């Protein structure tokens, strides 16, 4: 079952626990982040403000394949996957209509979105004067990736650029499809 596993409330910013890595030591993470199950991949943002985590659980207890968080800005992006969905535009429209029914939420119309995976649709939303966000449904080979991002209204414009770049890079794991499939 596919659910929106992102809270529409402003994120609470807390200090990271544990030791921070020393700059300049160790290997840098790969530029492309890949889902452990091989259902999708996306490009890591160049900005160090983002922490990408897998294996977390959403509010409904379901596993969330990817949670990207920016603790300094309160922004977050969640990616979930589904299979067996043929009409991703219809799924995007259903998600938009569902979110539009929530109190104090304003949604924009579904539009085609540029994404590495090829076919993709999405929309933007605003919750009162507090939160903005984007939802995108992207074809990722045999699977569909659903990205839900939100950030506080006062977040810097670079956060929105990072979110758009992550959604734009969303697609199948590199090399997972035969050449020329797209």
DSSP, residue by residue, 89-103: HHHHHHHHHHHHTST
pLDDT at residue 180 in the model:
55
Residue 117 confidence (pLDDT): 84
* pLDDT score at 5: 46
Low-confidence ranges of the chain (pLDDT < 50): 1-24, 178, 182
CA distance from start to end of the chain: 27
pLDDT of residue 19: 46
User: Which residues share a beta bridge with 105?
Assistant: 127
Q: Angle at Cα 102 formed by Cα 83 and Cα 53, nearest 5°?
A: 45
- Structure tokens belonging to residue 108: 């924009």
pLDDT of residue 122: 97
pLDDT score recorded for residue 15: 42
Return the pLDDT at 149.
96
**pTM of the full predicted structure?**
0.79
Q: Which domains does the chain have, with CATH numbers?
A: 33-169 (3.40.1000.10)
Q: What is the distance between the alpha carbons of residues 5 and 77, in angstroms, rounded to a whole number?
A: 10
- Give the span between the Cα atoms of 147 and 122, in whole angstroms: 9
The alpha carbon of residue 69 and the mean position of all alpha carbons in its chain are separated, in whole angstroms, by 10
**pLDDT at res. 11:** 43
CA distance 97 to 82: 19
Q: Which of 123, 125, 126, 117 has its CA nearest to residue 145?
A: 117
The reported pLDDT for the residue numbered 30 is 57
The pLDDT of residue 164 is 94
Whole-number Å distance between alpha carbons of 46 and 142: 28
């Amino acid at each position: 079952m596919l659910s929106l596993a992102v809270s529409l409330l402003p994120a609470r910013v807390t200090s990271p626990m544990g030791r921070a890595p020393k700059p300049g030591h160790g290997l840098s993470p790969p530029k492309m982040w890949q889902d452990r199950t091989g259902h999708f991949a996306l490009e890591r943002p160049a900005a160090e403000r983002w922490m990408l985590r897998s294996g977390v659980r959403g509010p409904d207890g379901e596993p969330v394949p990817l949670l990207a968080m920016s603790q300094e800005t309160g922004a977050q992006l969640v990616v979930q996957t589904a299979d067996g969905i043929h009409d991703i535009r219809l799924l995007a429209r259903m998600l938009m209509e569902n979110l539009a029914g929530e109190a104090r939420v304003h949604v924009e119309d579904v539009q085609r979105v540029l994404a590495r995976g090829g076919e993709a649709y999405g929309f933007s939303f605003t919750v009162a004067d507090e939160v903005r966000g984007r939802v995108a449904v992207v074809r990722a080979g045999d699977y569909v990736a659903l990205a839900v991002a939100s950030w506080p209204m006062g977040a810097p414009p670079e956060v929105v650029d990072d979110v758009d770049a992550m959604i734009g890079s969303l697609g199948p794991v590199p090399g997972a499809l035969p050449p020329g499939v797209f």
